C-alpha cells in the first residue's frame, strides 16, 4: 500500500486514526496470561474490536523483539490478522549503511510484509536509500519527535538560522517523493506544524503523541492537514489499555470510537 492508497482510505472513510500495538505482558489483562500466546491473543482482540475505527496499525517492534523468538512469532501472527485494507507500520526506527540497511528493509518489507517502516535519518541518504528502493512501500523518517530529548539535537539552531530538523526535512524530502516518503512529527510539537508544512506541503505526516503524551488534536489537525488531509494520527496506550479487565477489547473499541469522532469533526 502506497501513500496514494492510504490517502484514498483516509478520505473515503474520513478517518486518519492509527492504533499503536505496543503490548506489555505486565499490562495486558491477567486472564490472557495463561494462554499459549497472550501477546497475540491481546492484539487479535484489539484488532477485531477496532478495525472499523481506524485505517492503520503500528506495532512497536521493541515490544516484540524483547521477547525473543516468541515475540517475533507473535508479531508474525499479528500481521496475519490485520485486514488488508489497513496500512501497517513497523515502528522500528532503524537506520544504518550498506547491507545492514538493506537487510533491515528486507526484514520489514519482505519477511513481515509491512507497508511502512520508521527510519532514523541521522546517518544520511545512503542509510535510507535501501528502504526507498521498495517503490510500493513507504519509508517514514523521524522529523521532529515528541520526546524531551528532541531539544538536544533536532532543535539546534544552525548558522543559516534554521533548526536542524528543518534542514533534515528539506534535504530528506529530495530523497524520495510524497508517494513513498513520510515524516514523523510529534503532536507535542504542533506549534511547529505551520513551518513544517511550508517545507513539506505534500508529504504525509505520522503524528504520535496524542492521548497519554498530551498532544492537542485540534491544533494538530488545523495546522497539519493539507489538501489531501495528509495526516496519520497515532494513539496507542489510551486505546489498547482502556481497560485491563475482561472487557478490554470493548473498552478499546469505545475509546477508538470516541477519538475517531473527535478527528472526524475536525477533518470536516
Are the CB atoms for 120 and 149 separated by under 8 Å?
A: no
What is d(CA 21, CA 236) in angstroms, rounded to the nearest whole number? Answer: 7
- Of 236, 182, 212, 210, whose CA–CA distance to 63 is shortest? 236
Residues forming beta bridges with residue 21, ordered by sequence position: 59
Determine the Cα–Cα distance for residues 13 and 56; give it in Å rounded to an integer: 12
Give, in order, the Cα–Cα distances in Å from 253 to each of 35, 53, 118, 140.
22, 8, 26, 27
Beta partners for residue 57, in sequence order: 19, 88
93 given a catalytic annotation: yes
Kindly state the DSSP code that residue 108 receives in the 8-state scheme: I
Which among 93, 102, 223, 251 is annotated as catalytic? Answer: 93
Q: Specify whether the CB–CB gap between 235 and 259 falls below 8 A.
A: yes
Distances (CA, A) of 53 to 74, 168, 254, 260, 261: 23, 33, 9, 7, 9
Give residue for cell 547491507.
Answer: 99
H-helix or E-strand containing 56? strand 56-59
Which amino acids are annotated catalytic? 93
Amino acid at each position: 500500500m502506497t501513500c496514494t492508497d492510504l490517502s484514498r482510505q483516509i478520505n473515503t472513510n474520513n478517518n486518519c486514526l492509527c492504533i499503536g500495538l505496543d503490548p506489555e505482558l505486565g499490562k495486558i489483562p491477567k486472564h490472557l496470561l495463561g494462554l499459549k500466546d497472550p501477546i497475540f491473543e491481546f492484539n487479535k482482540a484489539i484488532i477485531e474490536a477496532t478495525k472499523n475505527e481506524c485505517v492503520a496499525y503500528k506495532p512497536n517492534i521493541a515490544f516484540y523483539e524483547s521477547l525473543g523468538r516468541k515475540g517475533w512469532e507473535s508479531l508474525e501472527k499479528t500481521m496475519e490478522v490485520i485486514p488488508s485494507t489497513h496500512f501497517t507500520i513497523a515502528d522500528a526506527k532503524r537506520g544504518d549503511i550498506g547491507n545492514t540497511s538493506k537487510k533491515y528493509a528486507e526484514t520489514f518489507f519482505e519477511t513481515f510484509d509491512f507497508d511502512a517502516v520508521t527510519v532514523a535519518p541521522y546517518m544520511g541518504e545512503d542509510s535510507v536509500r535501501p528502504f526507498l528502493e521498495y517503490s510500493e512501500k513507504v519509508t517514514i523518517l523521524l522529523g521532529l519527535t515528541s520526546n524531551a530529548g528532541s531539544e538536544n539535537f533536532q532543535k539546534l539552531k544552525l548558522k543559516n538560522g534554521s533548526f536542524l530538523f528543518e534542514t533534515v526535512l528539506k534535504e530528506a524530502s529530495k530523497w524520495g517523493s510524497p508517494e513513498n516518503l513520510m515524516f514523523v512529527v510529534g503532536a507535542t510539537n504542533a506549534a511547529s506544524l505551520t513551518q513544517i508544512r511550508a517545507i513539506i506541503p505534500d508529504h504525509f505526516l505520522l503524528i504520535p503523541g496524542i492521548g497519554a503524551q498530551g498532544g492537542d488534536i485540534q491544533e494538530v489537525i488545523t495546522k497539519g492537514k493539507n489538501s489531501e488531509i495528509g495526516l496519520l494520527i497515532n494513539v496507542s496506550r489510551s486505546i489498547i489499555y482502556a481497560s485491563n479487565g475482561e472487557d478490554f477489547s470493548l473498552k478499546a473499541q469505545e475509546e477508538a470510537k470516541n477519538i475517531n469522532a473527535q478527528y472526524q469533526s475536525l477533518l470536516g
